[in-house]
Structure 1
Amino acid sequence: MIKEFKKGDLEIVLSTMDRDSLDFLIPMFSFSHFSNFSILIINQTQPDKLLVSNYPSIRIVNSFEKGLSKSRNTGFKNAKGEIILIADDDEVFKEDFENTILEAHNKYQEAQSICFAIDDFSGFLFKKYPSTAKTRLSFLDISNILSIEISFKKAALDQLNIKFDTNFGIGSPFAMGEEAIFLSDWRKQKQSVIIVPKVIASHSRFSTDNKLNFKQRYYVQGAFLTRISKYGYYKGVFLKLFFDLKQNKVKLNQLFAAIKSANKGKLDFIQMQK
Structure 2
Amino acid sequence: MDFQVLISTQNPDPNAFRKSDFNKLIISQNPSGVGLDEDKLKFISVDEAGLSKSRNRALQECEATFALIADDDLEYCQDFEDKVAAGFRQFPDADILTFKIISPEGKPYKNYKESAFEHSRTSIYKVSSVEMVFRMSSIKAKGLRFDERFGLGSEFKSGEETIFLNDALNAGLNLYYIPEYLVIHPIESSGKLLDQNFFYSKGALIKRLYGGSFKLILGLLFLVKQVTKPQNKLTLTASIQAIKKGYYSIK
Q: Aligned partners of 1:123, 1:265: CA distance in 2, in Å? A: 37
Q: Aligned partners of 1:39, 1:207: CA distance in 2, in Å? A: 29
Q: Aligned partners of 1:81, 1:133: CA distance in 2, in Å? A: 25
Q: Aligned partners of 2:217, 2:183: CA distance in 1, in Å? A: 36
1:191 aligns with 2:176: no
Q: 1:92 to 1:231 in 2, by over 3 A?
A: farther
Q: TM-score, normalised by structure 2?
A: 0.92
For 1:103, give the aligned amino acid.
A
Q: 1:149 to 1:261 in 2, by over 3 A?
A: same
1:218 aligns with 2:199: yes
Residues matched between the structures, number: 249
Q: Which has the higher helix share?
A: 1
Q: Which ranges of structure 1 fall in alignment gaps of 5 or more residues?
A: 1-5, 27-32
1:15 aligns with 2:8: yes
Aligned to 1:29: none
Q: 1:167 aligns with which of 126, 149, 165?
A: 149
Aligned to 1:116: 99
Q: Deviations over 1:245-269 (max 9, x none)?
A: 2x42336x71121111111001111
Q: Which ranges of structure 2 fall in alignment gaps of 5 or more residues?
A: none
Query: Contact between 1:112 and 1:156, CA under 8 Å: does it hold in 2?
Result: yes
Query: Contact between 2:191 and 2:231, CA under 8 Å: does it hold in 1?
Result: no
Q: TM-score, normalised by structure 1?
A: 0.84
The two structures, once aligned, show a CA RMSD in angstroms of 2.1
For 1:241, give the aligned amino acid.
V
Q: Aligned partners of 1:168, 1:92: CA distance in 2, in Å? A: 25
Map 1:72-91; keep pairs closer than 5 Å. 72-91=55-74
Offset of residue 77 of structure 1: 0.3
Aligned to 1:259: 240
Q: 1:151 to 1:268 in 2, by over 3 A?
A: same
Query: Contact between 1:22 and 1:53, CA under 8 Å: does it hold in 2?
Result: no
Please give the secondary structure, in 2, of the residue aligned with 1:139.
coil
Runs of 4+ more than 6 Å apart: none
Q: 1:94 to 1:183 in 2, by over 3 A?
A: same
